[in-house]
Structure 1
């Protein structure tokens, strides 16, 4: 029996689909009247950035479909229309492969949009917090030895030791600012409106 590998979670796929919308106006028009938490969507993408990078780097693995082809013939079609289309298992597996290729193109496009947004902010001071909190890297940009995410207290302590900032509140403020700015780059007009509303409520 054919087995399909999903590869990524539904939550992440939804964030990717949102990121892959073509153009800021389309994103705004499609979400008008509905509340979308673009900050949280951007956080989901950042948390999964390295996983996404690994996924799009391996197109063959992403599009792989497990199967045993050619053993059976399946009938597909509409009885009311009076026709049936004969499909071998190999035909069905090829359709599954094509769907995986479509998903891969969509995922890669969304990832490229994400990466462009990230690259715009790599030189900003706040980006250190992104690397440490979302990417699991230490202050020097190396993978953290423990493999565990930083707590805010740990992150603030390391950055205080390095003379970068002081206190958890400052670290969180840096995070909020840069994630909101990245969300605007990725999601467009609707995210800009959402970020402005959030900042107004937060008193930034």
Structure 2
């Protein structure tokens, strides 16, 4: 029989939650690269996925919901060391729930790190471009109608020009370059400062 009621967090699971919560978005990304990191592109990837992560962690119950389909009340499995073991449906659900809880807190820890960086830069004038280019919002941070075409740089520039902020698409791209580079340094630390500095010079030349 299971040792706990499905849905409750045991001390073991709580410790695992604490462990995965230490795994930050920046370290997870760098570890996954297995080599040289383009910090600008890394930050862009996090920004493009920011709204998706926010939606995922917004509903704990939905994220951690588990159910069995087409399974009998108990199953058996064989291990060379212990022979046959029998697991009830409750045992299986407990294990599935445990895995879902760990996954949720890992995802939430990564989202919260990105969210801190986003909020740190949210008052900067260049953040209008982040909203429009990466989040799919309008310049004021409002959700756009379903099915709206993604902003082009020309459309971004036109909307921000109407607010008296910039004059053309080139200026909008420069704003993007500046704030994303700065956010990358915030997220990834000292190693990003050198790489971002080099990339900023190269990218600015390309947009001149």
**3-state SS of paired residue (2:114):** helix
1:1-204 equivalent positions in 2, closer than 5 A: 19=25, 21=27, 34-68=35-69, 71-79=72-80, 81-145=81-145, 147-202=148-203
Q: 1:104 and 1:75, CA in 2 relative to 1: closer, same or farther beyond 3 A?
A: same
Matches of 1:123 and 1:43, distance apart in 2: 19
1:37 CA drift (Å)? 2.7
| CA shift digits 1:103-141 (9 cap, x unpaired) | 100111111111110111011111011111112222233
**3-state SS of paired residue (1:74):** strand
Q: Which has the larger displacement, 38-47 or 49-58?
A: 38-47
- Is the Cα contact below 8 Å between 2:24 and 2:109 reproduced in 1? no
Unaligned runs of 5+ in 1: 1-16
Q: 1:190 and 1:100, CA in 2 relative to 1: closer, same or farther beyond 3 A?
A: farther
Matches of 2:130 and 2:97, distance apart in 1: 35
Q: 1:82 and 1:65, CA in 2 relative to 1: closer, same or farther beyond 3 A?
A: closer
In the comparison of the two structures, how many residue pairs are matched? 182
Q: 1:33 and 1:192, CA in 2 relative to 1: closer, same or farther beyond 3 A?
A: farther
1:77 CA drift (Å)? 4.6
| CA shift digits 1:75-116 (9 cap, x unpaired) | 33522x253332223322221211111110011111111111
1:32 CA drift (Å)? 9.6
TM-score (norm 1): 0.76
